[in-house]
Chains A and B, each alone.
Chain A
Amino acid sequence: MARMKFLCDSERCIECNACVTACKNEHEVPWGVNRRRVVTLDDGVPGEKSISVACMHCSDAPCQAVCPVDCFYTTEDGVVLHNKDMCIGCGYCLYACPFGAPQYPQEGAFGARGKMDKCTFCAGGPEEDHSHEELDKYGRNRLAEGKLPLCAEMCSTKSLLAGDGDMVSELFRNRVVRREGRPDVWGWNTAYKD
């Protein structure tokens, strides 16, 4: 069974933010909500590196573990989705998520936050595929159309990869072999620099 995963190759990302724009446009994400964003390490310093971050669709998702109403589920494709009809907008998933993926639209007066919104791996939600309800609540369901997430498909440098984890890792492994080494953007040398 396939397990869908994202991988961002920091050696290729040029911080163009096209993935962010494509995601917002494809799913008509409301103002103030970013399902995907580009993070730059050592910004402005020679050798800066950028990575595109969204929900990583964890195999053992902490958001799923802490949700008090259990509105999360994992599809057969390994995509972590949630049911907005059950979500109470408590924000526990935001505290649990190491990637800051959950987003909350501002709703009503006094900045009250609404139900959680996050990357769906372009897989929609529990509503019927291609229905108006699914489009309104979760955005387009590209996986049901036989397509992969738009952010990865349109990445001009092929930095952002999305697909079955085995295929993604195979592709990345070949790149690392060609480059004769893995990038040192993160790992022990970054975490324990001094």
Chain B
Amino acid sequence: MRCLLLIIAFTSLTACYEDSDVTLHQAGSYKGKIDTHSQTAEQREAILAKRFRHVQTDR
């Protein structure tokens, strides 16, 4: 009897838990995965500026 009650309790309570890791939508704000970079914005800016001068200048 006790076993039967346990089984009933487990099956009836399945999926009855609260996921605390919920992302609430907020209009106008991106809440997805954060885009990470290995370099800082300043480092990238300097590298890309050098690249621009190297490949985009007029012939």
Chain A positions within 8 Å of B, measured between CB atoms, are: 1-2, 4, 65, 69-73, 75-77, 81, 83, 85-86, 125-129, 143-144, 146-148, 152-153, 158, 161-164, 167-168, 171, 174-175
Contacts and interface: CB of A to CB of B under 8 A. Distances in A.
A97 B29 CA distance: 19
B29 A126 contact: no
Given A73-B32, A129-B37, 14 more contacts: A2-B41, A70-B25, A71-B32, A77-B44, A83-B30, A86-B32, A126-B32, A127-B33, A129-B38, A144-B38, A148-B55, A158-B56, A163-B51, A167-B53
Nearest to B55: A153
Contacts of A65: 28
Interface in B22-56: 25-39, 41, 44-45, 47-49, 51-53, 55-56
